[in-house]
Structure 1
Amino acid sequence: MNKFERIYLDIEQKIKAGDYPIGSMIPSEHELAKNYNVSRETIRKAQKLLLENGFIQKKQGRGSIVLDYHRFSLPISGLVSYKELQVEQNITSITRLITNEQIPVPDFLIGQNGVTADERFIHLVRTREINNEVMIIDEDYIRCSVINHVPMEAAKDSIYEYFENELSLTIGYATKEFVAEKASPLDIELMHLDPMDYIISVSSNVFLEDTTFFQYTVSHHRLEKFQFSEFARRKPRLNN
């Protein structure tokens, strides 16, 4: 890891810990360079990462102000587990495992991403409960040719921790789709919704680093309870 990346992570942690409160100014380039015993160019590289990830905004003639990073409630881009979001945003919730079984490949996956009709998948259904209400239903279909078993404890805790730490898989990327749709029978049963209620469905095809498809996941979110947001920074236009 480069020096500027370590400095970025240290300042990020200090922002999250409240050492640099939201709305305050972080130390100047000169002060940071002295504190970390590095060049100002190294500090500029670290600040660039903070800027790009929505932690600071430069103020002309004043320095860099700390932004409200909490607005990233549920990121649109990026590939993170629910547990990682829970820790990041200090969410107190309970995960309940409803289903963990092997099934024949669902029809809608056959022919997609190289999936064949004779394959089997692990079907997981989990609920995320906050303040005694089910806010999210996560439904996963995991390709048995890649992962043939998910222990109960891993399913209740974090399947990505299990995949990466226990199975040494490298998760690469995902394609996502966001759709507003009427509550399904499962939503009505587990979230206690009405048939005319709407939810936000977030479906993802997830791939390993070597481009192998291994997971289809769909998360159903209560429409009135969750906000999907992302920090976006406009890039400067190139002059022709």
Structure 2
Amino acid sequence: MNKTSLVYHDLFQKIEEEGYPIGSYLPSEHQLCNLYGISRETGRKALAMLAEDGYIQKIRGKGSMVIEHRQYEFPVSGIVSYKELAEKLHIKTQNIVYGYQPNATLPLADFKSLGTELTAAPVTAIKRVRMIYGEPAIIDKDYILKSVVPEIPKRAVEDSLYAYFENQLGLMIGYATKEITMAPATDEDCKHLAIRKGAYVAVVRSVTSLSDARAFQYTESRHRADRFSFRNFARRVKK
């Protein structure tokens, strides 16, 4: 880990633990140099990373103020694996794999609203329940095109698909298109999310593409409505 990342993670940890509470200011670039024994450029980069991630706002003449950042809990925008997000937020989680079909067919009708023109294709179908602090919160249904990823080992299913795609296969994940809807809970939802019939779930569907624009992952995440909130951090960028 380079010096910029070390400083970033130390400041991030102190913000999370409220060593720097919301509304307070982080040390200046000059002070960071003295505190961490780094160059001013390294300190500037670490602060820029915190600003980009929505933890601070740079205010001219005053410095870097810590802002409300808890809106990053389970953001819908962005492309991040569940494991990466859980580690970042320090959440105690568990994955329960209850469906694994290495030779299935993509349920294309479920994703037509996202604009894909793909016809039914062979996929590896994976179903997992995401447990948060011992309570079922999310069902993730992933459909991975076999034309891009012919095989997915069970250990990757139980751990992290993205770690396998990027670190083992060298795939470059580029972007995703997503939609959010509300839907009545199915029998499957009631069983695996421990909710009653008649309840609603938040459904997040996405199509993820590689950097060469090939769509390869189709995901349907079904969230307990009482555990779901759509929050995002947006920063205006002037042209």
- Please tell me the TM-score bracket, short chain as reference: 0.7 to 0.9
Name 2:20's counterpart in structure 1.
21
CA apart distance, 1:214: 0.5
Aligned length: 231
Name 1:53's counterpart in structure 2.
53
Structure 1 range deviating more: 89-98 or 130-139? 130-139
Determine which of 192, 214, 234 is the counterpart of 1:190.
Answer: 192
Name 1:120's counterpart in structure 2.
122
| Structure 2 residue matching 1:165: 3-state secondary structure | helix
Who wins on radius of gyration, i.e. which is larger?
Answer: 1
Structure-1-length-normalised TM-score: 0.83
CA apart distance, 1:58: 3.2
CA apart distance, 1:21: 2.2
Q: Deviations over 1:94-124 (max 9, x none)?
A: 101111112133242798645334x311110
Determine whether 1:71 maps to 2:67.
no
Equivalent position amino acid for 1:58 in 2: K
- 8 Å Cα contact 2:8-2:46 kept in structure 1: no
Determine which of 188, 208, 219 is the counterpart of 1:206.
Answer: 208
Equivalent position amino acid for 2:118 in 1: V
Q: Deviations over 1:120-152 (max 9, x none)?
A: 111100001123321100001111111121111
- 8 Å Cα contact 2:183-2:201 kept in structure 1: yes
**Aligned ranges 1:83-122 → 2 under 5 Å:** 83-101=83-101, 102-108=103-109, 113=116, 115-117=118-120, 119-122=121-124
**Distance (Å, rounded) in 2 between the aligned partners of 1:94 and 1:46:** 31
**Distance (Å, rounded) in 1 between the aligned partners of 2:156 and 2:211:** 22
- 8 Å Cα contact 1:97-1:127 kept in structure 2: yes
**Distance (Å, rounded) in 2 between the aligned partners of 1:199 and 1:145:** 32
- 8 Å Cα contact 1:22-1:68 kept in structure 2: no
Where structure 1 has 5 or more consecutive residues not aligned to the other structure, the ranges are none
**Distance (Å, rounded) in 2 between the aligned partners of 1:233 and 1:28:** 22
**Distance (Å, rounded) in 1 between the aligned partners of 2:97 and 2:55:** 35
Name 1:62's counterpart in structure 2.
62
Percent same amino acid among aligned pairs? 37
Determine which of 180, 183, 188 is the counterpart of 2:182.
Answer: 180
| Structure 1 residue matching 2:209: 3-state secondary structure | strand
Equivalent position amino acid for 1:229 in 2: R
In the superposition, relative to structure 1, how do residues 60 and 37 fare at CA in structure 2: closer, same or farther (>3 Å)? same
In the superposition, relative to structure 1, how do residues 113 and 25 fare at CA in structure 2: closer, same or farther (>3 Å)? same
CA apart distance, 1:210: 0.5
Q: Deviations over 1:132-185 (max 9, x none)?
A: 321100001111111121111110110110111111111111001011111122
Name 1:223's counterpart in structure 2.
225
- 8 Å Cα contact 1:110-1:116 kept in structure 2: no
**Distance (Å, rounded) in 1 between the aligned partners of 2:50 and 2:42:** 13
Structure 1 range deviating more: 10-19 or 89-98? 10-19
**Distance (Å, rounded) in 2 between the aligned partners of 1:210 and 1:37:** 38
CA apart distance, 1:38: 3.9
**Distance (Å, rounded) in 2 between the aligned partners of 1:183 and 1:109:** 15
Structure-2-length-normalised TM-score: 0.84
CA apart distance, 1:44: 5.1
In the superposition, relative to structure 1, how do residues 49 and 153 fare at CA in structure 2: closer, same or farther (>3 Å)? closer
What is the RMSD of the two structures over their aligned residues, measured on CA atoms?
A: 2.7
Equivalent position amino acid for 1:21 in 2: Y
CA apart distance, 1:212: 0.6
